[in-house]
Structure 1
Amino acid sequence: MKSVATFVAGQGASLGEAAVRRALQGASIAAFALDWLAPELACDAFFDSDDLDASRAGLQLALAAAPIDVIVQPVDGRRKKLLVADMDSTMIEQECIDELAGLIGIRDRISIITERAMAGELNFETALRERVALLAGVTLDQIETLVTRITLTPGARALVQTMRAHGAHTALVTGGFTPFTEPVAARIGFHETFANRLEIVDRALTGVVKDPVQGRAGKRAALAGLRERLGLPHEATLAIGDGANDLDMLREAGLGVAYHAKPKVAEAAHARVDHADLSALLYAQGYRKADFIA
């Protein structure tokens, strides 16, 4: 099978040909061509492989001490037509529920629950309802002010805008809440969103999440539904996320990428990005730096 390993330097790091060739040698891979997608940042190495899992494991082991990510996949089908992405700590740099908790002085209390839920130690739906119940009384005015302080993850807008420009459909699929997802999706440029809805009375949260809760199963179903609606094959889909509630969505995708993720998620995903920003997903699809749309 004709395969490609895409090497991407971590944020603030640089990538040289010597590092690429050392990693290939360490994984016993004989590449027949190198193609630089961005000088000192990203490089494709093409090779033949009958066992992509072994090639991936060998390269990750060879790069274990280096701030370099590597994504290994078949060459055919690497350019995706559907992107589904988690929001919190993936497309944005915050966990919105923790930010809401900060408004009423209980950030530490809620952050502990969030961390355990994202690590897969707690049931997502139960943990979500428990945390939202503590937010009763937070007002929409407070939320609207908080939304203005949300920061995008480096590479987020370029990822979505570049894929859209090349005909891909994009969806923000999150366990977060619509007062955040709608403005975030607009800033980044997503076609549509799937998110949880909060009960609001007199412009304040009641502490209730409306049914159905968008969790692990809902994320997978959203990807599968979009794929069917768009008439796409399995391999044409790309998913990215960081938490345990993203696992089924990542596994459902043609390429599921764990982004700066919890260990359980990184180990289970098809690929992992631990050092680079979200532009790594463009390089993984064979886009060159000159192709990026900010």
Structure 2
Amino acid sequence: MSQVKGLCVMDVDGTLILEEVIDLLGREAGREAEISQITSRAMRGELDFESSLRKRVSLLEGLPISVFDKVFNTIHLTPNAQKFISILQKNDILVGLVSGGFSPIVARLAKSLDIAYFSANQLEVKEGFLTGKLVGAIISPEVKQATLEKWRKEFKLPKERTVAIGDGANDLLMLKSAGLGIAFCAKEVLKKEIPNHVDKRDFLEVFPLIDFLE
């Protein structure tokens, strides 16, 4: 890439992809109903993100790590996500992923889309099985915001050349700190606070909102 002219940071679950990976993992663990109910409430902003994540991850204890191959093969990119990302990259706009989901999935997604910058939660694994615990820093709403700022400063970009796209309550701080925050097929809690909405699940709808694309 030549000189970076802008930055677009995207949420993953429910934004870049159609599914919530933790709910798919819950299905494999036989706890889908319980987990998806907690996910819905967390994304609407009704529950603290970190404690609700720890609770959901605890229900995955005992799953083999081979589950990630199975889950990765069942997720779907949002319509035109790949095209959107490649057009940004051709215009020297760096694309980064910041996810409250999990690194085994997000790392593969990033690689498949030629994205070098990504951040996601790490699940603890012992002897090939999930322990039901997380390791390292949790990708909380505050960490999502801080990651966008870190990447922006790394490339010496002004705020107005940053875009953040997300759908859940945990994306609010990140969207607010970008030059352009976009609530993408978002929960009401986000739409109330973020003026720019895309309500059709198609990434081509995002282009008209980005004013620094040549």
Deviations along 1:57-105, one digit per CA (max 9) or x if unpaired, are xxxxxxxxxxxxxxxxxxxxxxx71000000000001000000000022
Aligned-pair distance for 1:266? 1.1
Q: Give the secondary structure class of the aligned counterpart of 2:98.
A: strand
2:194 is aligned to 269
1:94 is aligned to 19
Matched, 1:167 2:97: no
Q: Any residues of structure 2 matched to 1:78-157 within 5 Å, and which?
A: 81-157=6-82
User: Structure 2 CA distance, aligned partners of 1:195 and 1:205?
Assistant: 16
Q: Which runs of 5+ in 2 are unaligned?
A: none
User: Structure 2 CA distance, aligned partners of 1:230 and 1:270?
Assistant: 26
The alignment covers a number of residue pairs equal to 210
8 Å contact 2:102–2:122 — kept in the other structure? yes
Which runs of structure 1 show a deviation greater than 6 angstroms over 4 or more consecutive aligned residues? none
2:144 is aligned to 219
RMSD of aligned alpha carbons: 1.6
Out of 224, 229, 238, the residue aligned to residue 154 of structure 2 is 229
Aligned-pair distance for 1:285? 2.5
Q: Give the secondary structure class of the aligned counterpart of 2:124.
A: strand
Q: Which runs of 5+ in 1 are unaligned?
A: 1-79
User: Structure 1 CA distance, aligned partners of 2:149 and 2:19?
Assistant: 27
Aligned-pair distance for 1:184? 1.1
8 Å contact 2:78–2:201 — kept in the other structure? no
User: Structure 1 CA distance, aligned partners of 2:35 and 2:148?
Assistant: 28
8 Å contact 2:6–2:92 — kept in the other structure? yes
Q: Give the secondary structure class of the aligned counterpart of 1:88.
A: coil
Aligned-pair distance for 1:146? 1.4
Which amino acid counterpart does residue 10 of structure 2 have in structure 1? A
User: Structure 1 CA distance, aligned partners of 2:95 and 2:130?
Assistant: 29
Aligned-pair distance for 1:276? 4.7
8 Å contact 2:79–2:201 — kept in the other structure? no
Which amino acid counterpart does residue 127 of structure 1 have in structure 2? S
2:108 is aligned to 183
Highest Rg: 1 or 2?
A: 1
Which amino acid counterpart does residue 239 of structure 1 have in structure 2? A
Aligned-pair distance for 1:267? 1.5
8 Å contact 2:107–2:118 — kept in the other structure? yes
2:130 is aligned to 205
User: Structure 2 CA distance, aligned partners of 1:286 and 1:224?
Assistant: 20
Aligned-pair distance for 1:186? 1.8
Identity %: 38
Aligned-pair distance for 1:179? 0.7
8 Å contact 1:255–1:270 — kept in the other structure? no
